[in-house]
Amino acid sequence: MSGYAPADWHEFFAAAVGASAALLGLLFVAISINLKLILEHRHLPGRAAGTLGTLLSVLVVGSFGLAPGQSNRALGVEILATGAVVATQAIWVSVGKRSQGDPLSWTLGNLPILLFPALAFVGGGCSLLAGSGGALYWILAGTVLTFVGTTLNAWVLLVEIVR
């Protein structure tokens, strides 16, 4: 399997799209169950939005990966753009929307969970455009990081918040 042959990664992209779509639905339910509690904490709406955005990026990147017949250049641009948008959102909800009195430790602790997957997508997109550096293996890493990070955040939004 090559990191530069998207057709070889069809099953991966299909699995990532299915898993991220299911997890997005579950996350929406978790947020709606605890919406009142989430809104009572200044930092949690951003955490919820960032978690949704990061998980949505896997759905978008996987969908682009499933598009038949497109060039590596087009796929690289799509993945790079998706990663850049999600990285911007991660920074915005973690740092830019930080309210007076929000603990800096939360900001610095949550930012990597949201930012690292996006940066892996940026790296994968750049690598695919350059034709070297691992390309789609970066997408694999970003997807795994997304699933781990969003699971941690979903746990906080669903369970830890009611403790």
* Residue range 58-104, pLDDT digits in tens: 999 999 999 999 999 999 999 999 999 999 999 988 886 665 566 66
What pLDDT does 135 receive?
Answer: 94
What pLDDT does 55 receive?
Answer: 96
Measured CA to CA, the distance from residue 44 to residue 30 in angstroms comes to 13
pTM of the shown model: 0.91
What pLDDT does 46 receive?
Answer: 87
What pLDDT does 81 receive?
Answer: 98
Measured CA to CA, the distance from residue 31 to residue 158 in angstroms comes to 7
What pLDDT does 107 receive?
Answer: 62
Residue 152 CA neighbour count, 13 Å, CB half:
14
What pLDDT does 25 receive?
Answer: 94
Answer yes or no: are the C-beta atoms of 110 and 47 closer than 8 Å.
yes
Cα 159 from chain centroid? 21
Answer yes or no: are the C-beta atoms of 112 and 148 closer than 8 Å.
no
Answer yes or no: are the C-beta atoms of 125 and 72 closer than 8 Å.
no
Q: What stretches in the chain show pLDDT beneath 50?
A: none
What pLDDT does 105 receive?
Answer: 58
What pLDDT does 59 receive?
Answer: 98
| Domain extent listing, the chain | 6-162
